[in-house]
Structure 1
Amino acid sequence: MNTLNLKINEHFAGKVVRKDLTKLVKGNAIVPTYVLEYLLGQYCATDDEDTIKEGVETVKNIIAKHFVHRDESQIIKSTIREKGSHRIIDKVAVQLNDRQDRYEASFANLGLNRVPIADAIIKEHQKLLSSGVWCILTLGYFPSDERDHTPWMVESLKPIQVSNVDVQEYKDVRQHFEKEEWMDVLLQSIGLNPQEFTFRSKLLQLTRLVPFVENNYNLIELGPKGTGKSHIYSEMSPHGILISGGEVSKAKLFVNNSSGEIGLVGYWDVVAYDEFAGKTKRVDRGLVDIMKNYMANKSFSRGTQVYGASASMVFVGNTDHSVAYMMKHSDLFEALPKDYYDTAFLDRMHGYLPGWEVQKLRNEMFTSEYGFIVDYLAEILKNLRKEDRTHDYTKFFELSSTITTRDKTSIAKTFAGLIKVIYPDDNYTESDAKEILDFAIENRKRVKDQLRKMDETFEEVDFSYVSIATGENFEITTLEDVENKVVPVQKKVEAVNNEDFKNVGEFKLELEPGQKIIRDNQSGISYDNLFGAYLLNATDIKITDPYVRLPYQLRNFMELAKLISEKKDPDNDVKLHLITSNNEDYIENAKDAFEQMRYSLESMGIIFSYEFDDFIHDRSIEMNNGWKIILGRGLDIWQKTGGWYDINEYVQERRICKASEITFLEISN
C-alpha cells in the first residue's frame, strides 16, 4: 500500500474500506453506495487481504440472501411465508393510517404496502415517515382467518447508518495529516482518485459536501453532463435525498395541507433537485414563493402554524451553451425554468459551483485506494452541522463594507462549510483561510454578477477584503471573468502558404477558389496554412472523412478542432459535425473517444456531434460561410511520426506529408 493508505489504516482502523470493493459486491443490486459500504464496514474495514476476501464473500452472501431484487420479490415473500420470518434489506417508507390508528410500512422492492409497524419503531426512526429509508429488518408472516387481517408484520428494523461516532477522535486524528493528504483522504472517501485533480478541482468536489455539514446552505451547480453533479447526493449519505426537479411539489417538500404531514425538508439534512435546468419545464409558482421564504428564513408555514427546518437545498442541472456564449449573450442562469429564473429566488443561493470546470468522470478518475466508509463520514458531517464557524474568517480578514448582509452570510457559510470539511480540528493558518475565503467569495460573486446582468437594480458590489494582520487588500474575480474579459480580436490573418492565396489587406483576406498540391515528403504544411483562413466566420461545419478511428487519426481531428476554436468568434458557438465510417474492431473505442471529445470541445464553444455512414467515400469540409474544401486524402495528410518523444508529433509543420490535393470551392448558402 502507498503511504497515505498506510496512514489512513493506522489512524482510522475499522473506519475505512478499500473503494473498489463496492463493485465486487454490488452485482445487479440497485442500492446506494452507503448501503454497500455499511455492510463492507462490518466485515472488510481492514487492510488484511485474507480478511478482506472473506468479508467480501460474506457481504456477497448477505446481498444474495437478504437484498430484495424487484424481479425476485415473490420468491422472498414465499421464503418469509415458509420460514415465518426472514431478514431483508429494502427501502421502507411509513404512513399513518388514521382510520385504523396505526402506522403502515411500504417496501420499495418487495412491493408490499400497508404492513403494520410498531409505534416504538417510528418514534425511534422518524425519518421513515418521509420518502423512504434503506433498512435491515426482519419481516414476519402470521396468517389468520380474521377479516381484513394483514399477515405481514415488521418484527424489528434498523436503518442502515453508523451510530455513535466519536467526533472529537476524528478531529484529533486529523492533526496527523497535512492539508493535501487530508483532502486526498476525503476525495478517496467519495470514490475519486486525487491524482487526477488539481487543488482547485479538489475544492470543487469537496464543496459538494458543504450542504451535508452546514445547516440551511443553498447551493446551485450548473454545467455539462457527466461530471457527477448529482451522484454525491444520491449515493454518499443516508441523510441526503435526491429528487427529480419534475417531482417537486409543495406537499412533498414542505407540508401536506390535507394530512398535515411534514415534507422532506423536515426529515432530511440535504434535499437535492436533479435535472433542475430546462427552460420549458413547468413549475408551480406558489412553490417558488414558499422556497424563497424557506431559503431566506429557514421556516415555512401551514395556515397559522410556522415550522422551522435546517435542510440544505441543492440544485443541479445542465447548461445549454458554453460559458463564453453565456457570458456574452445571456447569463449563467439562462438554462433554468422561467419561474426559477427569478432574481429574488436566485439571490438566496449562497454559492454557484461552476460545473463547467468539473471534469467529466473517466475510469482513471475513480479510486481503488482506501477511504472512509461513507456512512461513517456522513455521520461525522451530520454532527459537525451543530458547530457554527461562520465568523471564523474574521480572525484574519475583514470584508469590504460594500458587501451586503446577504452576500456576507453566503460567503461566511461557504467558508464555514469548507473549514469543517478540510480543517475539522480548527487548526489552519491565515494562508489556508485565504484559499478557502477566496473560493467562497468567488462562488457568491458568481451569483451576484449574474443577478446584476438580469436586473440592473442590483448594485455593483466590491468583493474585496483586507488582511487584518498586514492591511493588504485582496480583490476577487471569478475565473470565467478572467478568461472572457479581454476577448482577442483577430485583425490579421496569416497568408496561406501558397502564392495563389495572398493577403491583400491588413484586416481582410480575400479568398479564391483553387487547388493546392502537396507533394510526397513535403514538410512545412499545417491545417492553418492550408485552409485556416477559410474557416473564418463559419458557425456550422460538416466534416466528411471515412477514416477517423485510429489514435493518430483521432489526433488529427482534434488538431483541426483546435484550429476551429482559434478561428471562431469567441462569443459564438460553432457546430461541428463529423460523418465517418467504422467497423467492429474500432467502433467502441471510437465512440468513447468521440464522447470525450464532445465534452472537451463544449467547454471551448464547439458543439460536436458525429454519425457513422459506411457508404461514404468523399472527403470534405463544408461550411456555412460559402466554402467547401475537398480533401483528397481526408485529414490524414501526414506520414507516421516517431511517437510521443518525437517533436514532429506535436508540430504539424515539421511532419512529412503524403501526396495529396486540396480543392477550394465556393458554394451558395
Structure 2
Amino acid sequence: MSLQDKIFKNFEGKVVRKDLTKTIKGNAVVPSYVLEYLLGQHCASFDQDIIDQGLVKVKSVIKDHFVHRDEAEYVKSTIKEKGEHRIIDKLTATLNEKKDIYEATFSNLGISKVQISSDLIKKHKRLLSGGGVWCIINMGYLASEESDSSPWIIDSLKPIQISSVDIEEFINLRVDFTKEEWVDLLISSMGLEPEHFNFRSKLLQIARLIPFCENNFNFIELGPKGTGKSHIFSELSPHGILVSGGDVSQAKLFVNNSNNKIGLVGFWDVITFDEFAGSTKKPDKKLVDIMKNYMANKSFSRGRDVLGATAAFAFVGNTEHAVPYMLKNSNLFDALPKAYYDSAFLDRLHLYIPGWEISKLRNEMFTDSYGFIVDYLAEILKEMRKEDYSSFAEKFVDLDSSLTTRDREGILKTFSGLAKILYPGGTISYEETIELIEFAMESRKRVKDQLIKMDDTFENVSFVYHDKRKNKEIRIETLENIKHLHIQPDDESEENADVENEPKKETFQAKPGQIILSDNQEGVSFKMLFAAYLKEATEIKLVDPYIRYPHQFRLLLEFCSLLAELKEEDQEINLEVISWNEPDEKLNESIENFKEVAESVFDLGIHMEYDMNPNVHDRSIRANNGWKIILGRGLDIYLKPEGRFNIADVMPEKRKCKACEITYIRQ
C-alpha cells in the first residue's frame, strides 16, 4: 500500500490534497487553515470527480461569502438589500462599559460597534483577545432611527475551526505508520514536498510546530529571508497569532493597566514576534523585563494579582551576516535589537533553529500530496499541550550534571515537544530517543554558546549525555561549530578553540578511524575526505553499485579530478570502477556513461576500467598504498544544490551533505 493510500485509509475526512489550497486562494488575504477548513468539508476525497465538484463549491463560497476589502461596500449593500447574508470575515470584540454591551469590529468589511450577544462572547472568548478570529457570520440589517445605533445585526457566528478531535483515535492510527512515513505526512501537512528534504531538514521544519504543542515554549529562529519562518506561524493554526516585533506593547501583550484587560498571553497558545531581528529597532525595555519574567516563571502581574498563562513565545527574524562572520566577529544573536540583546532574556530560550540550514522555498518544494487538514492538526497539537513527555528521555539517557537548570529545561522541553509530534502516545524506542535528545541538546547549545561569548558570568558547561544502554558519554556539538570552528563532538578542549588562529582543514591526516557526516553539514570535499589516504597510490578500486544518475557520474568525474591532482604529471593511475544498474535500457545507458567518463579522464593520466556486477552491495575504495575506505553512501554524499545557479556547483565545500559514515582501515 502506498503512503498516500495509507494516509487516506486511516484519516479519511481529515486530510486534503495540499495543492488545492493554492488553487482556491487566489488573491484572498486569508490563512490556509480557513481555506482548508472549507476544503475539508467539500474536497476530502481521493475521487477526482468529488474533488472537482468540491472545488466548485469552495470557490463559490469564497466568491459569494468571503469579504475582500475592495468589495466591502458591495457586500454591505448585499446585506442591506437581502436583509441577511452569510459572510466570512475576521472579527474582534470589545466591551463597551458605558452601554454595558459587547461590540464587534469586522476586519475586511470595515464596520465597527456592531452589538454582539453576551452568549456568543461566553462561547467564543477569544473574540476579546484583540487579535481577531476568522468566523462564518450570518449578518442581518435593520435600520434604526437612533443615531448611535448600528443597523448591522449578528444573527449567528461560527469560528472557523474544527469542533473537536479524538486524540485517542489519532494516537492509535499513528501505529500504522513507520517513523519515515509519519515524518513525511507531517511535512506534507505543512505544504512541503518531502522528497526535497533530508531527515535533519525535515526535523528542523517539524521543530517549528513545538510551540503549538508545548506550553510556555520559548523558540527562536534567525536566518536568511524566504525560508518560510513566518508562514508556519501565521497559516497553520487558529490558536496562534503573528505580531510585528516592533508593534507590541505591555498593554497588548500582558495587561492594560488603564482598564485591567488581559492581553494576548491570556488568549493565544502561540504568540509569534515577526521581523524580530533588526539592530536599529528600539523595543520598550520595560516590556522586555516583563517578558523575561513571564518566560522564566510562566506568570505576569495584574495589579496585586499574579496570573499564570501557557502561551508560547516564538521569535523569528533575519540575520544580517553570514554564519562564519558572526561566529568569528560577534555571535549568532548579533541581529537582535539592543533591548533584546540581553543575556538574561536570551537564556530563557529553549531552542534556536539555525535558519541558515533551511532551504529557501521554491515552487517545486510545495507538495500536491495529501496531508492533514491544518485545522485538524492544529487541534491535535493543542490537545497535546496537556501532556508532558520530557520524562521519557530518562529511560535511556542522563544529562550531564554541569548543565544548568535552564539548559536542562530547554533540552527536555524540546525533546518533549518533538516526541509528542512524532510519537504521540509515548511509544519511543532507544534509537528514536537518542535522535531527538541529540537534536534538542544541539538546539540549546546553540543558545548557550552565544551567551558565553556575550557575558563572562556564564560558565562553560558540558553538553554531554550518558547513554545508559552503551554506558558511554556522548558529547554534542552544533553543526556550524563543526564546520566553521573545526570543533568535533569528541573534542574535549572545545572551549579552548582559538577561532582566529585555527587553520582551515582541507584534508584529514591519514590515520585509521571513522568520521560521521551529518545531514546538512557543509565544508566537506572529496579532497578533505580522501586526499591523505590516496597519496602515492597507483592502483585504486572503487566499488559503488549506485553510480547511475547524471549527478553521480559528475561526482565520479570529480573523484577522478582529485586523483589527477594528487599524482605527478608524468605518473599514471589505474582506476577500476565496479557498479551496477537494472538490466534494461538503463544498464546500457550507464555503460555508455562510464565509457564517456573513461575517455574524458584518459588525458589526465587516469586509466579507468569499469565492470557492471549485479552482486556488489557494499561501497568502498581500495588503494595499493595500504588503505581501504568504507563508504556509507558511496560517492553520492551531497544533497542536490538548490536553484539553477548555486556556488555549490563549483565549490564542493559549500554543498550540504547527506548523513553517512566513512571508515578508514589500514591494511
Normalising TM by the smaller chain, what interval?
0.7 to 0.9
The Cα of 1:303 is off from its aligned counterpart by 2.1
Asked if 2 retains the 8 angstrom alpha-carbon contact of 1:175 and 1:425, the reply is no
CA deviation map 1:399-427 (0-9, x unaligned)? 11101111111100000000000001212
Amino acid at match of 2:172: D
1:60 corresponding residue in structure 2 = 59
Distance 2:109 2:359 in 1: 38
Q: Within the alignment, does 1:329 sit opposite 2:367 as a pair? A: no
1:273 corresponding residue in structure 2 = 273
Which residues in structure 2 correspond to 1:78-89 (within 5 Å)? 78-89=77-88
Which residues in structure 2 correspond to 1:96-107 (within 5 Å)? 96-107=95-106
Note closer, same or farther for the CA distance 1:327–1:599 as it changes in structure 2 (3 Å cut). Answer: farther
Distance 1:12 1:490 in 2: 51
Note closer, same or farther for the CA distance 1:82–1:155 as it changes in structure 2 (3 Å cut). Answer: same
Give unmatched runs, 5+ long, in structure 1: 493-524, 530-591, 606-669
Asked if 2 retains the 8 angstrom alpha-carbon contact of 1:360 and 1:599, the reply is no
1:646 corresponding residue in structure 2 = none
Note closer, same or farther for the CA distance 1:19–1:359 as it changes in structure 2 (3 Å cut). Answer: same
2:206 corresponding residue in structure 1 = 206
The Cα of 1:593 is off from its aligned counterpart by 5.4
TM-score (norm 1): 0.74
Give unmatched runs, 5+ long, in structure 2: 487-501, 508-560, 566-642, 656-667
1:226 corresponding residue in structure 2 = 226
Note closer, same or farther for the CA distance 1:36–1:485 as it changes in structure 2 (3 Å cut). Answer: same
Asked if 1 retains the 8 angstrom alpha-carbon contact of 2:237 and 2:374, the reply is yes
Distance 1:400 1:95 in 2: 50
CA deviation map 1:357-416 (0-9, x unaligned)? 001111111100000000000000000000111211111111111011111111000000
SS in structure 2 at match of 1:246 = coil
2:126 corresponding residue in structure 1 = 127
1:44 corresponding residue in structure 2 = 43
Amino acid at match of 1:313: F
1:359 corresponding residue in structure 2 = 359
Amino acid at match of 2:23: L
Distance 2:249 2:454 in 1: 26
Which residues in structure 2 correspond to 1:645-656 (within 5 Å)? none
CA deviation map 1:528-555 (0-9, x unaligned)? x9xxxxxxxxxxxxxxxxxxxxxxxxxx
1:149 corresponding residue in structure 2 = 149
Distance 1:214 1:600 in 2: 43
CA deviation map 1:406-450 (0-9, x unaligned)? 111110000000000000121221100000000000000110110
Amino acid at match of 1:416: S
Note closer, same or farther for the CA distance 1:599–1:277 as it changes in structure 2 (3 Å cut). Answer: farther
The Cα of 1:599 is off from its aligned counterpart by 14
Distance 2:52 2:426 in 1: 38
SS in structure 2 at match of 1:469 = coil
SS in structure 2 at match of 1:247 = coil
1:15 corresponding residue in structure 2 = 14
The Cα of 1:114 is off from its aligned counterpart by 0.5
The Cα of 1:306 is off from its aligned counterpart by 1.3
1:174 corresponding residue in structure 2 = 174
SS in structure 1 at match of 2:35 = helix
1:188 corresponding residue in structure 2 = 188
Distance 2:390 2:142 in 1: 54
The Cα of 1:485 is off from its aligned counterpart by 1.9
1:549 corresponding residue in structure 2 = none
My pick for the range that moved more, 469-478 or 435-444, is 469-478
Amino acid at match of 1:417: G
The Cα of 1:345 is off from its aligned counterpart by 0.2
Distance 1:400 1:313 in 2: 27
The Cα of 1:26 is off from its aligned counterpart by 1.2
The Cα of 1:598 is off from its aligned counterpart by 12
Which residues in structure 2 correspond to 1:635-654 (within 5 Å)? none
2:393 corresponding residue in structure 1 = 393
Distance 1:286 1:593 in 2: 47
1:569 corresponding residue in structure 2 = none
Distance 1:51 1:490 in 2: 59
SS in structure 2 at match of 1:185 = helix
2:313 corresponding residue in structure 1 = 313
The Cα of 1:146 is off from its aligned counterpart by 2.9
TM-score (norm 2): 0.74
The Cα of 1:491 is off from its aligned counterpart by 11
1:468 corresponding residue in structure 2 = 468
Distance 1:158 1:417 in 2: 30
Note closer, same or farther for the CA distance 1:403–1:489 as it changes in structure 2 (3 Å cut). Answer: closer
CA deviation map 1:187-218 (0-9, x unaligned)? 00010001000100001000000000000000
SS in structure 1 at match of 2:386 = coil
Note closer, same or farther for the CA distance 1:37–1:490 as it changes in structure 2 (3 Å cut). Answer: closer
Distance 1:5 1:604 in 2: 35
Which residues in structure 2 correspond to 1:240-389 (within 5 Å)? 240-389=240-389
Asked if 2 retains the 8 angstrom alpha-carbon contact of 1:218 and 1:349, the reply is yes
Query: What's the Cα RMSD here?
Result: 2.2
Distance 1:67 1:337 in 2: 38
Distance 2:461 2:69 in 1: 54
Q: Within the alignment, does 1:118 sit opposite 2:125 as a pair? A: no
Asked if 1 retains the 8 angstrom alpha-carbon contact of 2:392 and 2:426, the reply is no
The Cα of 1:25 is off from its aligned counterpart by 1.2
CA deviation map 1:470-503 (0-9, x unaligned)? 31111100101100123544999xxxxxxxxxxx
Amino acid at match of 1:332: L
Distance 2:243 2:650 in 1: 28
Amino acid at match of 1:142: L
Amino acid at match of 2:184: D
Note closer, same or farther for the CA distance 1:280–1:604 as it changes in structure 2 (3 Å cut). Answer: farther
Distance 1:165 1:600 in 2: 51
Note closer, same or farther for the CA distance 1:598–1:466 as it changes in structure 2 (3 Å cut). Answer: closer
Q: How many residues align?
A: 507
CA deviation map 1:75-95 (0-9, x unaligned)? 100010011111000000001
CA deviation map 1:91-133 (0-9, x unaligned)? 0000111110100000110000100000000001111011100
SS in structure 2 at match of 1:90 = strand
CA deviation map 1:604-643 (0-9, x unaligned)? 69xxxxxxxxxxxxxxxxxxxxxxxxxxxxxxxxxxxxxx
SS in structure 2 at match of 1:387 = coil
Amino acid at match of 2:297: N
1:76 corresponding residue in structure 2 = 75
Asked if 2 retains the 8 angstrom alpha-carbon contact of 1:322 and 1:604, the reply is no
The Cα of 1:149 is off from its aligned counterpart by 1.9
Note closer, same or farther for the CA distance 1:101–1:327 as it changes in structure 2 (3 Å cut). Answer: same
Asked if 1 retains the 8 angstrom alpha-carbon contact of 2:256 and 2:263, the reply is yes
Asked if 1 retains the 8 angstrom alpha-carbon contact of 2:389 and 2:426, the reply is no
Note closer, same or farther for the CA distance 1:133–1:452 as it changes in structure 2 (3 Å cut). Answer: same
Amino acid at match of 2:371: G
Distance 1:94 1:139 in 2: 15
2:584 corresponding residue in structure 1 = none
Q: Percent identity?
A: 59
Asked if 2 retains the 8 angstrom alpha-carbon contact of 1:105 and 1:113, the reply is yes
Distance 2:207 2:341 in 1: 23
Distance 1:600 1:279 in 2: 34
2:558 corresponding residue in structure 1 = none
2:2 corresponding residue in structure 1 = 3
Amino acid at match of 2:58: V
Distance 1:488 1:426 in 2: 46
